[in-house]
């Protein structure tokens, strides 16, 4: 579904990603972990072309997403993203946040989109917050609305960029629970520091450090028996 | 020996000079229309400048930057003279004929083109003040740049843009007085003329001052009403 070939990303002279190649299959739940500054977020942001690779190519369903001949906006309709800072639209209500894109991009008419939007709010447990503005929602509620918004486009892939890092501890679970509910329905790529989530839910784990994929394995195998010294020292520090 | 005839200082006799009053009123309309069209020119060209600076290629951005820096870095009076003399000079050198550009139009263009630089910066700064994450969220849903700007960014930027824009228009209205130096018949022009006719600097200038004040004060009030309305949304 997604194919990454020799992805290298530099900011000026600073090499953030070094020659990463891998492919991602449908309905995988990939957790990306590693130390801060290791390139996790940049890797994720390259997958929907929010960052352009310095070298290398990324294919989504065999389309080169950075090829000018392919409409990146059409591709992005199928690759949603959930951000650390939620990035809800503050001038729209929770429901409007969810239905804006499907309506304005002519995917659904207003009635369909509203019906689907209400279903999605129900799915994330916020039916009663449809008409609230983001400023009246807690962090966890905002992030759940953001997940509903990303689902509204019926994407094939959702990229989660540290979705719980900006949340108070007691709100992390409600967001992770919503994410667990999506397993098997959509391909998920999750940059996270939630090791229990990675262990429990991930079908595959990427350990990124200094811009390289150091380990690409099953989560349980990674946590129980890391193959590299760098992974071992990382796990020593966090567990 | 009387050194100073105090009574002359408050000689209001010209109030009864109908011609002077009519002149001042026509001057007021000239000032208002210059301000109005100056604002229109300022907004239209200002938006074009802002778009050029935000999405233009290197060349466009360079041209816009030079223009904005020039306008903001030199006196309006200089720009007015340049616009008044330079095109006429070039036209004369090239065709031998004289250029009959009305000083009203020149004044309006000078004020508008000057304001455009400030308006451009106001729009650019307003758009940049919106969190980058908003653009990213909009892009990640599949919106192109133009649609993101329209649906997501501008509704948020407008709160920052409006107060600054209102202040710019108030300043512009006052600065239109400068066009009297090229002979455009605005309020300033007629108040100076009345001074010359009546040998009385006090009353014409004071009356012009009151008229300017009424206009600018109403604008200030209007702007703050609009601001409050947007701040509440």
Classified as helix, coil or strand, A200 is helix
User: Nearest 5°: phi and psi at A15?
Assistant: -85, 115
Q: Side-chain half-sphere of A228: how many Cα atoms within 13 Å? A: 14
* Separation in Å, CA of B95 to nearest CA in chain A: 48
Of B133, B142, B143, the CB nearest to A87: B133
Q: Comparing C-alpha atoms, which of B163, B185, B171 is closest to residue B216?
A: B171
Of B137, B155, B233, the CB nearest to A87: B137
- pLDDT of residue A202 exceeding 80: yes
In this prediction, residue B7 carries a pLDDT of 66
Report the residue of chain B nearest A84, measured CA to CA.
B133
pLDDT digits (tens, 9 = 90+) for A97-142: 999 999 999 999 999 999 999 999 999 999 999 999 999 999 999 9
> Cα–Cα distance between A121 and A149 in angstroms, integer?
9
Please answer whether residues B189 and B23 qualify as being in contact, where contact means their C-beta atoms are separated by less than 8 angstroms: no
Please answer whether residues A73 and A48 qualify as being in contact, where contact means their C-beta atoms are separated by less than 8 angstroms: no
Cα-only R_g, chain B: 22
* Separation in Å, CA of B145 to nearest CA in chain A: 10
Would you state the structure tokens that stand for residue A219, as one six-digit string?
Answer: 């989560």
* Separation in Å, CA of A212 to nearest CA in chain B: 25
Cβ pair A85:B147 closer than 8 A: no
Residues of chain A contacting residue B143, judged by C-beta atoms under 8 Å apart: 73, 101, 104-105
Q: Is B134 on the interface with A (CB under 8 A)?
A: yes
Q: Please, what's the largest Cα pairwise distance for chain B?
A: 87
Domain boundaries, chain B: 22-232
Of B133, B152, B155, the CB nearest to A85: B133
Residues of chain A contacting residue B131, judged by C-beta atoms under 8 Å apart: 85, 87
Q: What is the 3-state secondary structure (H, E, C) of B135-189?
A: HHHHHHCCCCHHHHHHHHHHHHHHHHHHHHHHHHHHHHHHHHHHHHHHCCCCHHH
Report the residue of chain B nearest A99, measured CA to CA.
B141
Residues of chain A contacting residue B152, judged by C-beta atoms under 8 Å apart: 89
Mean pLDDT by 10 residues, chain B (233 residues): 64 68 89 94 96 92 96 96 91 83 91 96 94 95 94 92 92 93 90 84 86 94 86 66
Cβ pair A76:B141 closer than 8 A: yes
What's A29's DSSP letter?
Answer: E
- pLDDT of residue A44 exceeding 70: yes
Buried b (16+ CB within 10 A) or exposed e, A209-227: bebbbbbebebeebbeebe
What's A185's DSSP letter?
Answer: T
In this prediction, residue B15 carries a pLDDT of 61
Element (H, E) at B46: helix B18-55
Cβ pair B143:A101 closer than 8 A: yes
Handedness of CA A194, A197, A199, A203 (dihedral sign): negative
In this prediction, residue B194 carries a pLDDT of 85
Would you state the structure tokens that stand for residue A131, as one six-digit string?
Answer: 């008409």
Report the residue of chain A nearest B137, measured CA to CA.
A87
pLDDT tier for residue A160 given thresholds of 50, 70 and 90: very high
In this prediction, residue B12 carries a pLDDT of 64
Domain boundaries, chain A: 2-78+156-238, 88-154
Of A50, A90, A104, the CB nearest to B139: A50
In this prediction, residue B10 carries a pLDDT of 65
ipTM value, please give it.
Answer: 0.91
CATH topology of domain B22-232: MetI-like fold (1.10.3720)
Surface of B (150-179) touching A: CB under 8 A: 151-152, 155-156
> Cα–Cα distance between A146 and A165 in angstroms, integer?
14
Q: Is B198 on the interface with A (CB under 8 A)?
A: no
Classified as helix, coil or strand, A4 is strand
Mean model confidence pLDDT for chain A:
94
Cβ pair B142:A91 closer than 8 A: no
User: Nearest 5°: phi and psi at B42?
Assistant: -60, -45
In this prediction, residue B201 carries a pLDDT of 81
Handedness of CA A131, A132, A138, A139 (dihedral sign): positive
Report the residue of chain B nearest A48, measured CA to CA.
B140
Q: Comparing C-alpha atoms, which of B154, B91, B88, B83 is closest to residue B112?
A: B83
In this prediction, residue B200 carries a pLDDT of 77
Of B134, B142, B155, the CB nearest to A105: B142
Task: Give the CA distances from residue B113 to residues A9, B39, B59, B159, B185, in Å, rounded to whole numbers and listed in that order.
Answer: 43, 9, 20, 24, 20
Distance of CA A126 to the CA centre of its chain: 21
> Cα–Cα distance between B18 and A49 in angstroms, integer?
71
- Beta-carbon contacts of A224 under 8 Å, excluding residues fewer than 6 positions away, are none
Determine which of B131, B142, B151 to mutate to test the interface with A (most A C-beta atoms within 10 Å): B142
Cβ pair A101:B139 closer than 8 A: no
Cβ pair A81:B137 closer than 8 A: yes
pLDDT tier for residue A214 given thresholds of 50, 70 and 90: very high
Strands A29-33 and A204-209 come out as parallel
Architecture of domain A2-78+156-238: 3-Layer(aba) Sandwich (3.40)
> Cα–Cα distance between A157 and A186 in angstroms, integer?
6
Report the residue of chain A nearest B155, measured CA to CA.
A91
Of B143, B151, B155, the CB nearest to A73: B143
- pLDDT of residue A212 exceeding 60: yes
Cβ pair B142:A101 closer than 8 A: yes
Size of interface A-B (CB pairs under 8 A): 57
Cα-only R_g, chain A: 18
* Separation in Å, CA of A109 to nearest CA in chain B: 17
Cβ pair B140:A73 closer than 8 A: no
């Amino acid at each position: 579904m997604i194919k990454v070939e020799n992805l290298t990303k530099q900011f000026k002279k600073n090499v953030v990603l070094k020659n990463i190649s891998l492919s991602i299959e449908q309905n995988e739940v990939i957790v990306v972990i590693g130390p801060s500054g290791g390139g996790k977020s940049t890797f994720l942001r390259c997958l929907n072309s929010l960052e352009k690779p310095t070298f290398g190519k990324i294919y989504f369903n065999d389309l080169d997403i950075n090829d000018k001949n392919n409409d990146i906006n059409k591709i992005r309709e199928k690759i949603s993203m959930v951000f650390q800072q939620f990035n809800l639209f503050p001038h729209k209500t929770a429901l409007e946040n969810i239905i804006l894109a499907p309506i304005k991009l002519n995917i659904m008419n207003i009635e369909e989109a509203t019906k689907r939007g209400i279903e999605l709010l129900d799915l994330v447990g916020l039916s009663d917050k449809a008409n609230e503005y983001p400023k009246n929602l807690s962090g966890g509620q905002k992030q759940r609305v953001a997940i509903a918004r990303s689902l509204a486009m019926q994407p094939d892939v959702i990229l989660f960029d540290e979705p719980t890092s900006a949340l108070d501890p007691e709100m992390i679970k409600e967001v992770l629970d919503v994410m667990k509910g999506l397993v098997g329905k959509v391909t998920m790529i999750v940059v996270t520091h939630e090791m229990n989530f990675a262990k429990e839910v991930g079908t595959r784990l990427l350990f990124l450090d200094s811009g390289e994929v150091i380990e690409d394995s099953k989560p349980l195998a990674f946590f129980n028996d890391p193959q590299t010294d760098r992974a071992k020292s990382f796990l020593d520090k966090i567990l | 020996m009387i050194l100073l005839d105090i009574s002359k200082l408050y000689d209001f006799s010209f109030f009864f000079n109908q011609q002077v009053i009519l002149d001042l009123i026509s001057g007021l309309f000239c000032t208002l229309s210059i301000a109005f069209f100056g604002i229109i020119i300022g907004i239209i060209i200002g938006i074009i400048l802002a778009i050029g600076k935000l999405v233009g290629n290197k060349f466009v951005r360079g041209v816009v930057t030079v223009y904005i820096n020039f306008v903001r870095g030199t006196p309006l009076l200089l720009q007015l003279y340049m616009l008044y003399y330079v095109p006429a000079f070039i036209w004369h050198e090239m065709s031998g004929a004289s250029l009959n550009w009305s000083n009203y139009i020149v004044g309006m263009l000078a004020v508008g083109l000057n304001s455009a630089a400030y308006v451009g910066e106001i729009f650019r700064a307003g758009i940049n003040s919106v969190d980058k994450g908003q653009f990213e969220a909009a892009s990640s849903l599949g919106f192109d740049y133009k649609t993101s700007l329209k649906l997501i960014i501008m509704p948020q930027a407008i709160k920052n843009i409006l107060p600054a824009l209102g202040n710019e228009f108030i300043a512009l209205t006052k600065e239109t007085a400068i066009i009297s130096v090229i002979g455009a018949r605005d309020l300033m022009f007629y108040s100076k003329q009345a001074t010359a006719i009546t040998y009385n600097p006090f009353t014409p200038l004071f009356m012009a001052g009151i008229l300017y004040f009424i206009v600018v004060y109403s604008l200030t009030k209007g702007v703050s009403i609009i601001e409050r309305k947007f701040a509440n949304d």
